[in-house]
Amino acid sequence: MILFWLVAILIAAGVLAGVAARWSDTAPRVICLGALATDFGLCLGLWSGHYPALATIGPPRWFAELSWNWIPQWGIRFHLAVDGLGLALILLTLFLGIMAVLASWRGIQRSAGFFHFNLLWVLAGVMGVFLAVDLFLFYFFWELMLVPMYFLIAVWGYERRIYAAIKFFLFTQISSLLMLAAIVALAVLHQSATGSYSFEYEDLLSMPLAPGTEMLLALGFLAAFAVKLPAFAIHTWLPDAHAEAPTAGSVILAGLLLKTGAFGMLRFVLPLFPNAARQLAPWMMTLGVIGILYGAVLAFAQTDLKRMVAYTSVSHMGFVLLGIFAMNDIALQGALIQMLSHGVSTGALFILAGALNERLHSRDLRSMGGLWDTMPVLSGAGLFFVMASAGMPGLGDFVGEFLVLTGTYRVSPVLAALGALGMIAGACYALRLVQTVFFGPNVHNWRFPDAHWYEWSVAAPMMACLLWIGLYPQPVLNVVRPAIDGIRHQIAVSTLAKR
| pLDDT tens string 23-50 | 887 899 999 999 999 999 999 888 876 6
CB neighbours of residue 44 within 10 Å: 13
How much is the average pLDDT of 411-434?
Answer: 92
How much is the average pLDDT of 110-130?
Answer: 93
Specify whether the CB–CB gap between 289 and 420 falls below 8 A. Answer: no
Which residue range is the domain that position 479 belongs to?
2-497
Q: pLDDT confidence of 223, banded at 50, 70, 90? A: very high
Candidate from 8-17, 99-108, 236-245 with smallest mean pLDDT: 99-108
Q: What is the pLDDT at residue 453?
A: 78
Q: Is the pLDDT of residue 54 over 60?
A: no
Q: pLDDT confidence of 497, banded at 50, 70, 90? A: low
Q: What is the pLDDT at residue 209?
A: 87
User: Which residues 6+ apart lie within 8 Å of 95 measured at CB?
Assistant: 40, 344, 461, 465
How much is the average pLDDT of 282-287?
Answer: 96
Q: Is the pLDDT of residue 104 over 90?
A: no
Q: What is the pLDDT at residue 98?
A: 95
Q: What is the pLDDT at residue 451?
A: 76
How much is the average pLDDT of 406-413?
Answer: 95
Backbone angles phi, psi at 450, to 5 degrees: -75, -170
Q: What is the pLDDT at residue 16?
A: 95
| pLDDT tens string 147-187 | 999 999 999 988 899 999 999 999 999 999 999 999 999 99
How much is the average pLDDT of 232-246?
Answer: 91
CA distances from 34 to 23, 91, 313, 459 (A): 18, 15, 30, 19
Highest mean pLDDT among 69-73, 232-236, 407-411: 407-411
User: Which residues 6+ apart lie within 8 Å of 174 measured at CB?
Assistant: none
Q: pLDDT confidence of 11, banded at 50, 70, 90? A: very high
Q: What is the pLDDT at residue 496?
A: 57
Pairing of β 76-82 and β 64-71:
antiparallel
Say how far apart CA 162 and CA 178 lie, in whole Å.
25
Say how far apart CA 108 and CA 100 lie, in whole Å.
11
313: left (phi over 0), alpha (psi -120 to 50) or beta: alpha
132: left (phi over 0), alpha (psi -120 to 50) or beta: beta
| pLDDT tens string 298-332 | 999 998 999 999 999 999 999 999 999 999 999 99
Helix H or strand E segment including 69 = strand 64-71
Q: What is the pLDDT at residue 23?
A: 82
CA distances from 342 to 63, 253, 296, 483 (A): 27, 12, 14, 20
Residues written for the chain: 499
| pLDDT tens string 447-483 | 778 777 778 889 999 999 999 999 999 988 988 888 8
Q: Is the pLDDT of residue 499 over 60?
A: no
Say how far apart CA 111 and CA 114 lie, in whole Å.
6
> Which residues are registered as beta bridge partners of 69?
77
> What rounded mean pLDDT belongs to the chain?
90
Q: How many domains does the chain have?
A: 1
* Widest CA span in the chain: 75
How much is the average pLDDT of 419-442?
Answer: 88
Q: Is the pLDDT of residue 57 over 70?
A: no
Q: Is the pLDDT of residue 253 over 90?
A: yes
From the list 393, 407, 345, the residue with the least C-alpha distance to 95 is: 345
| pLDDT tens string 366-407 | 888 888 888 888 889 999 999 999 999 999 999 999 999 999
For residues 341 and 452, which has the higher predicted lDDT (pLDDT)? 341
* pTM, rounded to two decimals: 0.94
Q: What is the pLDDT at residue 58?
A: 43
Q: Omega before 413 cis (within 30°)?
A: no
